[in-house]
Amino acid sequence: MQLKYTHKDLPDGRRQLEIMVPRRHGQLCYEDTMAEFRQKLKVEGHAIGKAPDSAIIEQLGGEDAVQSMVLNQTVSCAIAEAAEKFMPDRHAWQFDPGSELLGVDYTESGDMLVNVSFEPAPKPVWTVPYRDLQVKVQKVKPGPEAVQERLESLAKERAMLGIVIGRGLQRGDSAMLSLAATFEDDEAPTPPDSVWSDLRLETGNDAFDAYFPGLIQALEGMKAGEQKACTLTLPTSTDFFPVEWRGRTASLQLHLKELFERRPVELDDAWAASLAPGQPMDLKTLRSYLSQAVEGEAELATHRLELESVKKAVAANMECGCPEYLVRGVAMRLLQCRLRDLHDEGVLSAAQVSALSSQDNATDFAKNNRAEVEEALRSQVGLEHIAESEELLPSEKDVQARYERVAGELGEQSQPLQDPNVREHITEFLITDNVLEWMKERGILTVE
């Protein structure tokens, strides 16, 4: 497509781009649209691919509907090409779903003029030059009790579950339950929320008790199959969902569907051998493996501390604007990280994490955690600026190599790679990693 462009700055800080699309391109887009529908649209009385255009157009809603489809497709393609060709520096110009289509006009010769306004990507202003930053991190070292704690945790995870018969729930049991809430100030009953419709709960989990205080206590003594009503004041935390439930006094209807207890295991050689059938394993060897795992986790914890410390230092020593389209993206990533943390703590299930990773919840997260979101955005902009200035940006080859490596590690569990933004996330990860190594080499980041 041979496009022509003009652009100008607008008084509100946004930019306007006018794209001229040749008349011939619109005709080709119409022909492509009709060709696509000829091949896939089923029209009554005709075999696929054999229906006349008049019948296809009628089934699609008429000529006006088809022209509207063509117009939308033409405008989308024009904007996408403009973003790719006219603005090769992705950090200097950006289109986003919030970009505003100002209008579509036509010249006397029939060429299309597409006008779009958008916010330019923010430019960092350093209050302290990034080369003068000093970031010090204390190395994480596992305590002497770490291996024993890991061993006991493993024993709990691998303990056999038995059905509880003849008694009610005791703290430490594993339960399957659902709950629904009604609120006195509602005009109509609140329908059960899917987030809590099928919950597997480890009642000995202190993290869940802190997340949803009072629920485990309300369940104590209930037997499998029983239902119970209770009243609780729900948490006000911005990590608690659904959003509409926060801080309200609710009448909860609890249904304890199943109840299990964990059978204690003896930490001996026989139990250790059962963890690795067909391999030589005893308790001493298992402790050795766990010691290595604990050391590896300490290294990862140190790296996370390096990352967080650098991000905070960058965000604290530079300023930039915070366009809403970037705020939305950062808020979603922070929300997903928070939900994954809750999953790792045994508070939320994988299904709950998936259900809660919505744009509405990300918008709520941005509203309630604005300072955190803006800090994360500043650090992202600052790290990208350092990477550009010091020629640390990863190549497409680097991104593809990391993508293939992650795909290989995940194997059949590669669902996260279906995220359409996965390559962008990998790019940001590589940028951060490159900047951290660069800072270490120059003594900006030191680990003590």
From the list 315, 306, 415, 324, the residue with the least C-alpha distance to 363 is: 324
Residue 295 lies in a domain: yes
- Say how far apart CA 381 and CA 387 lie, in whole Å: 10
Domain for residue 23, yes or no? yes
Position 83 scores a pLDDT of 63
Whether residue 242 is preceded by a cis peptide bond, meaning omega within 30 degrees of 0, is yes
89 is written with which tokens? 């520096």
Q: Which residues, at least 6 apart from 52, have a Cβ–Cβ distance to it below 8 Å?
A: 46
Instruction: Assess whether 356 and 308 both reside in one domain.
Output: yes
Strands 174-183 and 199-202: antiparallel
Of 383, 376, 372, the closest CA to residue 445 belongs to 383
Q: Among the three residues 229, 262, 295, which one is the final residue of a domain in this structure?
A: 262
Whole-number pLDDT of residue 68: 86
Q: Do 318 and 389 share a domain, yes or no?
A: yes
Whole-number pLDDT of residue 84 = 61
Contact 447, 303 (CB under 8 A): no
Domain that holds residue 38: 4-119
422 and 334 belong to one structural domain: yes
Using DSSP's 3-state secondary structure scheme, residue 37 falls into helix
For the chain, percent of residues with pLDDT exceeding 90: 38
201: CB partners within 8 A, 6+ apart: 174, 175, 176, 177, 208, 216, 219
| Burial classification of residue 195, based on how many CB atoms lie within 10 Å of its CB (0-12 exposed, 13-18 middle, 19 or more buried) | middle
pLDDT number for residue 370: 95
CATH number of 180's domain: 3.10.50.40
181 and 92 in a common domain: no
> What pLDDT is stored for residue 434 in this prediction?
95
pLDDT for the residue 91? 40
Question: Is the distance from CB of 379 to CB of 317 less than 8 angstroms?
Answer: no
- Residue 147 domain-assigned? no
The beta strand positions in 130-206, using DSSP E, are: 135-137, 161-163, 174-183, 199-202
Q: Do 170 and 303 share a domain, yes or no? A: no
Dist. CA 170–CA 259, nearest whole Å: 10
Looking at residue 99, what is its pLDDT?
66
- Is 359 part of a structural domain of the chain? yes
Chain centroid, CA 97 distance in Å: 17
Are 300 and 347 part of one and the same domain? yes
44 and 177 housed in the same domain: no
Position 268 in a domain = no
Confirm whether 219 is domain-assigned.
yes
Indicate which CATH number applies to the domain containing 19: 3.30.70.1050
CATH of the domain at 390: 1.10.3120
- Taking the C-alpha atoms of residue 436 and residue 302, their distance in angstroms, rounded to an integer, is 13
Q: Are residues 353 and 330 in the same domain?
A: yes
Whole-number pLDDT of residue 276: 85
Any domain includes 368: yes
- Considering the domain architecture, whether residues 243 and 302 belong to the same structural domain is answered as no
Residue at a domain's end among 88, 119, 150:
119
The amino acid present at 345, given as its one-letter code, is: E
pLDDT one-digit tens code per residue, 53-112 = 888 888 888 888 888 888 888 887 777 776 665 444 444 334 454 467 788 888 888 888
CA distances from 165 to 171, 223, 369 (A): 15, 8, 46
Across 299-364, the runs of DSSP E, i.e. the strands, are 318-319
Whether the Cβ atoms of residue 392 and residue 429 lie closer than 8 Å to each other: no
User: Which uninterrupted H or E stretch holds 142?
Assistant: none
**pLDDT lower than 50: segments of the chain:** 86-95, 97-98, 189, 414, 417
Residue 124 inside a domain? The answer is: no
217, 236, 262 — which closes off a domain?
262
Residue 250 and residue 224 in one domain: yes
Please report the beta strands in 138-195, taking only residues with DSSP state E, as ranges in sequence order.
161-163, 174-183
Instruction: Based on the fold, state whether residues 62 and 103 are members of the same structural domain.
Output: yes
Give residue for tokens 């006397």.
Answer: 108
Q: Are residues 164 and 36 in the same domain?
A: no
- Phi and psi, residue 114, nearest 5°: -105, 125
Task: Write the pLDDT tens digit of every residue in 380-413.
Answer: 999 999 999 999 999 888 888 888 887 777 665 5
Q: How many domains does the chain have?
A: 3
